[in-house]
Structure 1
């Protein structure tokens, strides 16, 4: 490697589905992907995934871990709900200079870059974010137990709940509800499976819902409409007004586009980048802050 170690920055973006790491030396970027990393749901497994990713990154870049550990590192992970868990994670990782936040800032920065706008991110979890003149604000992202409305795991839970209501005769059955009853071998199978599912496993049901919604299934469309109504309500409460850019990100986020109000549909823009590119930008900003403090 020709660049000096002073040019290195490390960026990590992790969520309930996957964790990605990137090392940048000012010229070249190395990237690796490992399993899910939510430090509130499973701290030890998340740390193991990060350590595994660092080992692969070292091998890929041909750089010793000790050298990478000295580089400014930005870590954006799902489940970082406060300073206590951020400090615990910092102590478990080898970095000398690290900034640890939840996964929302990197997703926002990746989607919008430096421009103003709003992001409705719906992956395994969900949150709404706004960026105005460099200032950021966030709503949601509180996890599968108390929040994450409109997320993939929320869709998965909701569809199984509504399948049971269809079986009770409280909702009209649809092709989608019959599909899930067959998949899980009846209502008892639905209840048993749901009792053991992780957020990621619930989220894996969401693509089936979006597929049925696209085919006109009324049950699937009602779930998607409920998710879109939540997003629209929170966007307005955060200050969105017609004309302000909106990015729908995450695995299921873009599928809400046709269920949003018309004025929001007209405001939709494509994301500038992904959460990892946002984490790289925030790692670079962290490095510049460190250098400024030295001056």
Structure 2
């Protein structure tokens, strides 16, 4: 029997799936093994612990694995890829496919085919893949420069809009909610806390923005609407690049759209706002339901042996 191992390597955690040809046998979550984020000793410990858990849950030796696929950011960095290749050669049987985290997320929705993926969690990014397998992206420049529609951006923009509402003599439920969350006594304390260096974790504010919006707060609703529009514009840019791609001989073609990430999984106004905005220019746009799980893209590659397109 063939066994396949799939990994989704993040900066703080790594997801693992062990499967056979038809079923998932076990899933585990461990610490990061990305060498840009941790030292070699910690990465080794995290990998060995997770592999041992998979074996304990399934009885399958890692040396019996037919093929593995690891999806990770930074696969162009030798520190990342060299360590993964050496670690797997020592501990896991079979062949290894290394691919970017964006590509396994696209694979989870489109199984190697063309499409557009909008990602929004703590950060955000939009990626597209042509018929020939080439990738194009928009956004993803980090919290200081981009991350439209992300948890961090939603929280930060809500805080800014709260103070703009104060300037306009408008009330918003966001102000008392933020004070309560951060356990601050008054507005002056909030000003100092928000402007400190390093900055506070604005991502923590995102759930209360969603809650206040659902309860009818206009300031919170406007934050979600604006972030959805900005993230949709990035997706529009990617769609237009794919439409102009020479390998696509159908100018009217619009690729399917998929979502991934905690914001797009849990914040319906963002997801629905993106679709609504895109359909103004792309009325025939097809949208995959729900959100895709990137590790299933890694599992698809492990099972099929499909390699990333070079170039």
Match of 1:219 in 2: 219
2:110 to 112, 119, 133: 112
* 8 Å contact kept, 2:162–2:219: no
Following superposition, the deviation at residue 33 of structure 1 comes to 3.0
* 8 Å contact kept, 2:106–2:115: no
Task: Specify the SS of the correspondent of 2:80.
Answer: helix
Q: Unaligned 5+ residue runs, structure 2? A: 244-251
Q: Report 1:1-295 matches (<5 A).
A: 3=1, 7-15=2-10, 18-35=13-30, 37=32, 39=34, 42-44=37-39, 48-68=45-65, 71-77=66-72, 79-80=73-74, 82-90=76-84, 93-95=87-89, 97-139=95-137, 140-144=139-143, 146-163=145-162, 169=167, 172-184=170-182, 185=184, 186=186, 188=189, 192=193, 202-240=202-240, 243-253=254-264, 255=268, 256-260=270-274, 261=277, 262-263=279-280, 267=285, 268-270=287-289, 273-285=292-304, 287=305
Task: Specify the SS of the correspondent of 2:216.
Answer: coil
TM (norm. structure 2) is: 0.72
TM (norm. structure 1) is: 0.76
Query: In the TM superposition, what whole-angstrom CA distance separates every residue of 1:175-230 from its partner, at most 9, and x where no partner exists?
Result: 023210222114536755875678xx643432222222233322222322332222
CA distance in 2, matches of 1:163, 1:281: 45
Following superposition, the deviation at residue 137 of structure 1 comes to 1.8
Task: Specify the SS of the correspondent of 2:149.
Answer: coil
Aligned length in residues:
277
CA distance in 2, matches of 1:50, 1:271: 30
Following superposition, the deviation at residue 281 of structure 1 comes to 0.8
CA distance in 1, matches of 2:75, 2:164: 34
Q: Aligned in 2, Cα 1:202/1:125: closer, same or farther, shift over 3 Å?
A: same
Query: In the TM superposition, what whole-angstrom CA distance separates every residue of 1:110-150 from its partner, at most 9, and x where no partner exists?
Result: 12335543111112232212233252424244444554332
CA distance in 2, matches of 1:26, 1:75: 18
* 8 Å contact kept, 1:109–1:275: yes
* 8 Å contact kept, 2:75–2:81: no
Superposition RMSD in Å: 3.5
Q: Unaligned 5+ residue runs, structure 1? A: 290-295
